[in-house]
Chain A
Amino acid sequence: MAQEPESPAVLYIDLHLVHEVTSPQAFDGLRKRGLRVRRPDRTFGTLDHGIPTHDRSLPILDEMAARQIAIMENNAAENGVMLYGIKTGADKQGIVHVIGPELGLTQPGKTIVCGDSHTATHGAFGALGFGIGTSEVEMVLATQCLLQRKPKTCNVKVNGRLQNGVTAKDIILGIIAKYGVGGGTGYVFEYTGEAIRAMNMEERMTICNMSIEGGSRAGMIAPDDTTFEFLKGREFCPKGADWDKAVAHWRTLPTDDGATYDATFELDADTLEPMITYGTNPGMGMHITDRVPDPQGVGDLSQRRALEKALAYMGLQPNQPLLGHPVDVVFIGSCTNSRIGDLRQAAAMLKGKRVKDGVRVMVVPGSEPIKKQAEREGLDQIFKNAGAEWREAGCSMCIAMNGDQLSPGQYAVSTSNRNFEGRQGKGGRTFLASPLTAAASAITGVVTDARTMMK
């Protein structure tokens, strides 16, 4: 929008999404300045991080979470901001990065921010979406603008086509394993290549979602007919002649042929296998058929120490396979993998089967509309019949703020995005993987290659 010399650019924000955990201090700051939300029509709230995923008619037992939720409700009401929560908009409540696209708020070319690092998800639509801190949330509430410096660009090229049983989640885990958790620092990713073009929007969202795990604040995919098909008719999308005009504009957005990037990453989809993490950051990943790496083989001293520390936390030995490793909990959910396609894949695997005795399986849909859709398709019955828990929408065990969490020492196969120490509960140990791997492991009670169980 504007740029003064020696200063960062002032970027106008088309869509600001807020949730209960990173916004209370920002609304406080706004009040102290005697201001209100400048553009409530461009600001949308949801309750997702701290909200319980049990029956919503039950009280919230955690007093601090209840207080934070009440404050969000109050802040939204006071400022005329639509809140998809418990008392208002409950039928469309869900994880912020799931409901944005679902409502058609997320559109190509928009600048989208949220006090949450997985805002990168919205880049799947050719939008510039990135996470911000609470001070920046306050700035956007107050001014609808943000100070930004132009990032470097990185072409993340995914060549070829995925094999059966290998998914979008495996692609992004593959990229992060290859280029590291800091590889994308300072860059915005653009995902290109045959494998990306062949994907539906849900798969593209899974990829863009985890850009931040590769160090990149934002990851984008050029909009195409797949994008427009997904958006057409959604609540906040243009209608009639305005829709045609919007699509015509959106078609001008993709990167020009022959454009140059500051860096290029490449991954071959043809030879990719299902991925799983063995360590305590998302870059510590491998093909599910591989063995845990040996710190002795790592030349760099600090990296060797990091691997030793990670394996000690995970209770794993160098060179051991993960296939067959016992699992206590399986979590299917999060802004990475909680959409209807993810639930369908997991349900197809679990249909007519039983969860292994002693394994807790939680299935947490990304939004209430996804929950309803799954119930119309009978997926909830498949999960329940198999012995899995079928929950209300929210972030749940991905961030373990709402009581859904691992106990110390437990192992989980999780479709979420972070395997940091304690992320899913203090002392809990996370293997990140796809919904297919999660569902297969739920049946056997050990880490399992889903391809061995597919017809």
Chain B
Amino acid sequence: MNSKIVPLSAENVDTDQIIPARFLKVTDKLGLGKMLFSDWRYNDDGSPKPEFVINKPEMAGRQVLLAGDNFGCGSSREHAPWALTGWGIRAVISTSFADIFRNNSLKNGLLPVIVDKDTHEQLFSLCEEDPNTEVSVDLATQTLNLPDGRKVTFPIDAFSKTCLLNGVDEIGYVQGMREKIEAYEKAMAK
């Protein structure tokens, strides 16, 4: 995946900022992209704030979000990755992610890319120098390719990687263990 970057320098971006709780009354997963970062993005009258990063016209279509440390902290709402992917984001680069958010992202085809502090700072500087900086993310080789040719590897567990690359249905995988589950339940009941 090649994409220009949406830079959001805030640290500890919590899931209430990604999508405020008042939008959690929906009963499906689709259509949440327009509520992404709602309180940072819109004025009280509903008009977009032109200075907020994702409202800039050139950001449309970008698939990589660059965010500050501890992205996705707070509540377990899966509406957060649904809102991000609904807007078009497919990978988030940060120095760390909150545990539940990272899990939820992996189940929705949203790739959390963890990089070291220096790379993180460099990426923000590059975006400042050239807002059209482009990176490529290669999940198969777990590599983030920077414009200067530098390759940075990022961690992901083998199982999540396989699921993402091959579209494995995790629930189907566990369902395949029905006999083991039944045996465990029988043993536990004794």
Contact = CB atoms under 8 A, between A and B. Distances in A.
A272 interface: no
Interface string B151-190: 0000001110000000000110111010011001100100
A143 B170 CA distance: 11
A284 to B, nearest CB: 10
Contact of B107 (A133, A182, A303): A133
A116 B175 contact: no
A178 to B, nearest CB: 16
B159 A422 contact: no
B75 to A, nearest CB: 5
A281 B177 contact: no
Given A21-B24, A133-B76, A217-B100, A2 B177 contact: yes
Nearest to A401: B21
B73 A182 contact: yes
Contacts of A50: 25
Contacts of A65: 25
A296 B29 CA distance: 43
B17 interface: yes
B77 interface: yes
A348 interface: no
Contacts of B22: 400-401, 426
A185 B74 contact: no
A254 interface: no
A217 B20 CA distance: 21
Contacts of A303: 11
Contacts of B185: 12, 144
Contacts of A181: 12, 70, 73
B100 A132 contact: yes
B96 A182 contact: yes
A142 B169 CA distance: 13
Contact of B14 (A302, A309, A420): A420
Given A133-B76, A182-B69, A10 B158 contact: no
A229 B82 CA distance: 43
Contacts of B107: 133, 135-136
A106 to B, nearest CB: 18
Contacts of A212: 74, 100
Interface residues of A, number: 64
Contact of B25 (A62, A132, A306): A62
A305 B188 CA distance: 53
Contact of B11 (A136, A217, A302, A408): A302
A182 B171 contact: no
A422 B12 contact: no
Nearest to A144: B181
A185 B71 CA distance: 11
Contact of B170 (A1, A33, A147, A182): A147
A445 B76 CA distance: 34
Residues of B in contact with A, size category = 35 or more
A1 B184 contact: yes
Contacts of A185: 70, 96-99
Interface stretch (A22-30, A245-253, A314-322, A372-380): A22-30
Contacts of A62: 25
Contacts of B81: 133
Nearest to A71: B27
A422 B96 contact: no
B122 interface: no
A302 B9 contact: yes
B181 A117 contact: no
A234 interface: no
Interface in A137-176: 138-139, 142-145, 147, 149, 151
Contacts of B60: none
Q: What 6 A-B pairs have minimum CB-CB distances, sorted nearest first? A: A133-B104, A182-B70, A64-B25, A133-B78, A131-B76, A24-B27
Given A2-B177, A212-B74, A400-B21, 11 more contacts: A21-B25, A24-B27, A64-B25, A131-B100, A185-B70, A215-B99, A281-B12, A281-B73, A302-B9, A401-B24, A422-B16
Interface of A: 1-2, 6-8, 10, 12, 21-22, 24-25, 28-29, 33, 49-50, 62, 64-65, 67-68, 71, 115-117, 131-136, 138-139, 142-145, 147, 149, 151, 181-182, 185-186, 212, 215, 217, 281, 283, 302-303, 305-306, 309, 399-401, 408, 418, 420-423, 426
8 contacts: A2-B184, A10-B180, A116-B76, A135-B78, A181-B70, A399-B21, A420-B17, A422-B20
